[in-house]
Structure 1
Amino acid sequence: MIVDRQGRRFRNLRISLTAACNYACTYCVADGKRLVAAEDELSADALARAVAYLIEAAGIERLRITGGEPLVSPRLEPFLQQVAGLGLQDISLTTNGQLLSRKLPALLACGIKRLNVSLDTLDPLAFRRIARGGDLSTVLAGLQDAREAGLNIKLNMVPLRGQNLDQVLPLLDYCLERGFELRFIELMRMGHLARDPQGFQRQFVGLDELLAVIGARYEYQQADAPQDATALRYEIPGRGFFGVIANESVPFCRSCSRLRLSSTGWLHGCLSSSNRHFIGDLLDKPRHQALPALQRLLVRALGDKQELAFSGGVTVMKIIGG
């Protein structure tokens, strides 16, 4: 097992199935252009083999499938079918929900029980302005279908000053009424925002301001969360829960257990680091050759983690998943 001097190790793998996305959200890409799949993205077989090797080499316990938008990838179903048999404690998926109704039968057939759905507003005009793609009513219909199918659902919202701050309470009400858990994600200094500190500060909404907005309507209390959780979790007694991923206000780097794998075979140990480690060439090697080489790369990836707090990174989030 690979452990650093702070006692951190990799438990959670987030794998970007594709960089392609049918949205071009303002906080993710600057120019409004949708990202397309790279020509050198790994096959479903190779990605599944990477997961299997990482389980053995690093002790990965939980898998989150991300993108881009994973539901646009033709590799989704064959990949899910293979990783479902690897003995992971949990497999979940993050999606923007645009194709959720259409892909729901495949997700259920492969044993997916948990979804994180990105949704920044319930206002159709604001939705189009922020996502620069998609259709709100289609996402809401997908959420209803997933709820009726019994999936555990969390919604992810990025509050942005001047764009959707007025949607904090409407989205919270929407989630409480349906048994969803809403996660507010503080804007991250990633990609173009890392190079535009003034633009970042203009839009940033922090933990204290969010809690003040919520506290004006609801009484809440802090709830327990796993030791390596990214979110501060709160309970509104008798109604439900919400969380805040306060990467700027209350950094969680000291307990981070996350490892990311891009669709093109690059390991990222930390979002704040520009370092990356290629494992694509290891996936064609026999296990006895691949695992020692992979463990050496994992030591380096773990060493990339920040000790105290997220400091920003120029990597575009869509490339390595949320």
Structure 2
Amino acid sequence: MIDSCGRDITYLRLSVTDRCNLRCVYCMGDDPLPLAHSEVLRIEELVRISRCFIRLGIRKLRITGGEPLVRKGIMELFDQLGEEVALGRLAELTMTTNGLRLAEVAGRLRAAGLRRVNVSLDTLDPGLFRRITRWGEVERVIDGIAAAKDAGLQVKINVVLQKGVNEDGLDALIAWAGAQGHDMTLIEAMPLGSLAGLRADQFLSVEKMRKDLASRWTLLPCDHRTDGPASFYRVAETGGRLGFIAAISQCFCAACNRVRMTCTGGVSWCLGQESSLELRDLIRSTEDDGPMERALLAGVAAKPAGHRFAVGIAGAACSDGQRSRMNRMGG
């Protein structure tokens, strides 16, 4: 799948549900209206679409949500997609999770073929964690991370930077992640979801945070790379790796190699763009994958050169539709 800019599209982020057992303030409302079950793709449909993407050149597939581990039948999906890894047709199968249910399934995930998981964890402070997530217990997340490590899964911690909220706790997170052997990535908040009107005075850039952290930690250049946009440094004091994703302040679109699909089958070529191809009705109307493959190959030409995110103008980068679907897209 080569887009109009000549980029080789090899990475699919696949949302499997709009539902979540947390209500993080920058992602979901406190009482979102869930999609009807008939609107969400069935497990067999997710497998079918994933295999179509794999035939067209997708090599890395990340399962997202909402929270993927609340999806009924999710282990069946991991088992079937894990077969693609075992057969060499998929290079990597991974997941982003909030970690609340990770302890229950870590061993099964490893057996299914996962080797890495990303866990969202914005603070170690129990009170602040409850405020950010509205009711979450950080101890359960930490237990889930420990279970994943014990099962042989590599864990990366994702932290969304929130000015005036969690920046003072980053030192504790860096020290803890380093001691546990987990990489950690700091991510700029994007003007999506409840942050659609993100103002300049609310925005915390990773460059500013990097300079601040460098006054207390020794950050050494590191050539470690993933399929994502993070730039990594080695923290000399802990030996761990610390990544920075500058989604807004330093656009990384030129090297973008990914597409996303919502849990309803809407393919988005860019996170800053509405879904541009709907697959649900197409696959429910025929057992022939040919039309789906042709639609994907034609649609990839619509992938924009870059996003249009902006900070400082309320709502400038995000329509009402995008604000309501972040929990369906998976970021």
The verdict on a shared fold, with TM-score over 0.5 as the criterion, is yes
Question: Which segment is superposed worse, 262-271 or 220-229?
Answer: 220-229
Residue identity matched to 1:294: E
Distance 1:227 1:118, change over 3 A: closer
Cα displacement (A) at 1:163: 1.1
- TM-score with structure 1 length normalisation? 0.91
AA partner of residue 145 (structure 2): L
Matched residue, 2:132: 130
- For residues 33 and 183 of structure 2, the distance between their equivalents in structure 1, rounded to whole angstroms, comes to 29
Q: Which residue of 2 is the match for residue 60 of structure 1?
A: 58
Deviation at 1:317, TM superposition (A): 2.0
Q: Within 5 A, what are the aligned runs for 1:113-262?
A: 113-194=115-196, 196-198=197-199, 201-226=200-225, 229-237=228-236, 239-262=239-262
Question: What is the aligned residue count?
Answer: 314
1:281 lines up with 2:281 in the alignment: yes
Partner of 2:12: helix, strand, or coil? strand
Deviations, residues 233-254 of structure 1 (Å, cap 9, x unaligned): 1112461211011101211111
SS of match in other structure, 2:161: coil
Find the aligned partners of 1:9 and 1:234 in 2 and give their Cα distance.
Answer: 26
Are the aligned partners of 1:254 and 1:308 in contact in 2 as well (CA < 8 Å)?
A: no
Percent identity for Structure 1 against Structure 2: 34
1:21 equivalenced with 2:23 (yes/no) = no
CA-to-aligned-CA distance 1:67-119 (integer Å, 9 cap, x gap): 00000011311111111112310000110001111122331231211110000
Q: 1:296 & 1:159 partners in 2: Cα distance?
A: 37
After superposing on structure 2, the runs of 4+ consecutive aligned residues of structure 1 that deviate more than 4 Å are: 225-228, 308-311
Structure 1: state its 5+ residue gaps. Answer: none
CA RMSD, Structure 1 to Structure 2 (Å):
2.0
Per mean C-alpha deviation after superposition, the further-off stretch among 295-304 and 242-251 is 295-304
Q: Deviations over 1:245-273 (max 9, x none)?
A: 11012111111111111111111110111
The runs of 5 or more residues in structure 2 that have no matched partner are: 311-316
In the TM superposition, 1:298-317 aligns within 5 A as 298-307=297-306, 310-311=309-310, 312-314=317-319, 315=322, 316-317=325-326
- Distance in 2, matches of 1:106 and 1:38, equals 28
Of 67, 84, 93, the match for 1:69: 67
Cα displacement (A) at 1:301: 4.0
Helix, strand or coil for the counterpart of 2:83?
coil
Secondary structure of 1:158's counterpart equals strand
Query: 1:310 Cα deviation (Å)?
Result: 4.2
Opposite residue 192 of structure 2, the aligned amino acid is: M
Work out the CA distance in 1 between the residues paired with 2:163 and 2:13. 28
Q: Secondary structure at the match of 2:247?
A: coil
Answer yes or no: is 1:42 the counterpart of 2:47: no
CA deviations over 1:277-307 (Å, ceiling 9, x no partner): 11113334344xx334433344324423233
What CA distance in whole angstroms lies between the structure 1 residues aligned with 2:225 and 2:126?
35
| Residues 1:268 and 1:280: Cα distance change in structure 2 (over 3 Å) | same
Distance 1:280 1:224, change over 3 A: same
- C-alpha distance after superposition, 1:208-237 (max 9, x if no partner): 211122112211122224485311111124
| 2:40/2:263 contact within 8 Å kept | yes
Equivalent position amino acid for 1:211 in 2: R
Tell me the SS of whatever aligns to 1:13: strand
